[in-house]
Amino acid sequence: MSLSPVQPAEPWRQRLIRTLLYGKNVDRHVKARARVGFAILAFVSVYAVIAGKLVLFGITSESNEASRRAAQDATATARPDILDRNGTILATDVKASSLFGEPRRLVDRDEAVELLTGALPDLDAAEVRQRLGTRKGFVWLKREITSAQERQIHRLGIPGIGFLRENKRVYPSGPVVSHLIGHVNIDNQGIAGIEKWLDSNGLADLHMAGFANDRQQEPVELAVDLRVEHALRDELLKAKEKYKAKAAAGLVSNVQTGEIVAMVSVPDYDPNNPREANDPTRINRLTTGVFEMGSTFKSLTLAMALDSGKATINTLYDARGPLRYGRFNIRDTHPMGRAITLAEVFTYSSNIGAARIALSQGVEAHKAFLKKLGQLDRLRTELPESAQPIVPKRWGELNTVTISFGHGLSVAPLQAVMGINALVNGGYLIPPTFLKRSKAEAMKLATQVVKPETSQKMRYLMRLNAEIGTAKKAEVPGYYIGGKTGTSEKVVNGRYMRKQVLNSFTAILPSDNPKYQLLIMLDEPQPLKETFGFITSGWNTVPTGGKVIARIAPLLGIEPRFDLPPSDRLILAATR
């Protein structure tokens, strides 16, 4: 018996191919069926690969689209129009294109960077290359490009580069209302002024809920009058230049409603270019800054005495010589060398007289009165930017002496305006607002802080000051204004500087029935030949105030009146 050699087993792959091609024998029909089966298998495999690629591509495209949508949701935050009290648009949204890239769809990153930086020279090539070098589905390349730039890039036809339409905030009046209205960031979110207030009062929540679109938001009406704002700003810019001041500021307030009808602080900035707001010289001096308001504060001191019933406008105070207090001598700019009445303390702006009046009331009464008029606490309005007053930690008699004539207590100027409003509007402390408000709405918020007869006497004193006192240069025929001046030496390195002053002038119009208060401030005005070298308020802020009143009174609907009697017969007679 012979043994034949064992044949090695055929590998399964060869056996499969041989079976598909030839079957188990060489029969022609079987062989044909085998070849058809192999072809079918090959085609199925190819189509399976193609289908897989299509599915993958679909998933990727959806992801990119989702990324675009997410980015759009994050940026295209529609905002309501902001209007002035007459319906003029102060802020609105317009549509603008932004440039984005989809790195996963790029064919040639270097070519894309080269073409894009050629079309937009301000693009940083290294930064664009870095952004396009990621594996992200979506990256911003440049926000808010012009239509011409969009067309230029579109013609380049770069795969993976596209555009999104976004909301862009624009401010048609430029810097005129900048400190009041604020501005937004690149994502159209409010970061200052009324714009920020809108976000913190429901707009941001609407965005989160997806309800804040262009059609669902009602315009926001402010109290500001753009015509008055423009006139005030124009005169302040002229005054700043004429008197070579570091800064100027002004404010018009409705004394009966607390509405802020105009507010200007220059240097200001253009909210269309919000980077300018980072310049520290452009701060809003009316709400963000705090200052010693100088002699305008004497109005509060005298009102305190009149309201207490312990003094009248004819009460005498000793002003024969300087008031010695501790190591300090309190002097007057215009020393009278005699006893003077309370009314003369006001019209001659006597520091000695104001100090004696405050001392006659006592420290605690003084503090309580100023707190009642909102001068010791931080003022809250719609504007998020507000400063805390600087109040003495230990308040003794010397503090009362200096604060009586406007030194030693620093407040935001808007805060001082609120207090003066209360002194002349019948005695009601009304929180200021930048939104439109009726008198009835204001009275629901009002607190009676001085008696009506005290308010009447303060109107008389302010008018008297325009007739014979330091506010004479603000007189505008027909408008019966009243006012109080303030010249406050600035504190530098802990010392009062005689040549560096902050001047202020607060005016009311008309004095017999005040509707509005105007505040004018100049920071470090310089002496001129026509001011005879003086830098006190009466030589610069007062005439500036007169020019402002001449322009804004007709805009505010105040009709001129002529042949009016002196204040003692028109105003004071009503209190007797």
Q: What span, in angstroms and rounded, lies between the C-alpha atoms of 1 and 12?
A: 32
Catalytic, 410? Answer no
Q: Residue 450: which of 442, 441, 458 has the closest Cα?
A: 458
Q: What span, in angstroms and rounded, lies between the C-alpha atoms of 361 and 84?
A: 44
Q: Which residue has the tokens 């300087």?
A: 322
* Marked catalytic residue, from 97, 178, 253, 295: 295
Q: Residue 547: which of 261, 239, 249, 177 has the closest Cα?
A: 239
Residue type, 550: A
Tokens at 341, concatenated: 């009445």
Cα distances from 372 to residues 246, 307, 394, 450, 477, in angstroms, run: 33, 13, 19, 9, 36
Tell me whether strands 220-221 and 82-83 are parallel, antiparallel or unpaired. Answer: parallel
Helix extents (H) in 223-335: 226-242, 298-308
How many helices (H) and strands (E) are present in the chain, helices listed first? 19, 20
Q: Are 84 and 225 in contact (CB under 8 A)?
A: yes
**What proportions of the chain, in percent to the nearest 5, are helix, strand and coil?**
45, 20, 35
- For residue 110, the tally of other CB atoms under 10 A from its CB is 12
Q: Are 221 and 409 in contact (CB under 8 A)?
A: no
Q: Residue 298: which of 317, 324, 272 has the closest Cα?
A: 317
Q: Are 317 and 342 in contact (CB under 8 A)?
A: yes
Q: Are 177 and 90 in contact (CB under 8 A)?
A: yes
Q: What span, in angstroms and rounded, lies between the C-alpha atoms of 210 and 57?
A: 30
Q: Which residue has the tokens 């002194």?
A: 423
Tokens at 349, concatenated: 């702006």
DSSP structure class, residue 201: I
Burial of 337 (0-12, 13-18, 19+ CB in 10 A): exposed
H/E element, 507 = strand 495-509
The 3 state secondary structure assigned to 554-570 is: HHCCCCCCCCCCCHHHH
3-state SS class at 140? strand
Helix extents (H) in 146-250: 147-156, 178-181, 193-198, 204-209, 226-242
Q: What span, in angstroms and rounded, lies between the C-alpha atoms of 110 and 569?
A: 86
Task: Please identify every residue annotated as catalytic.
Answer: 295
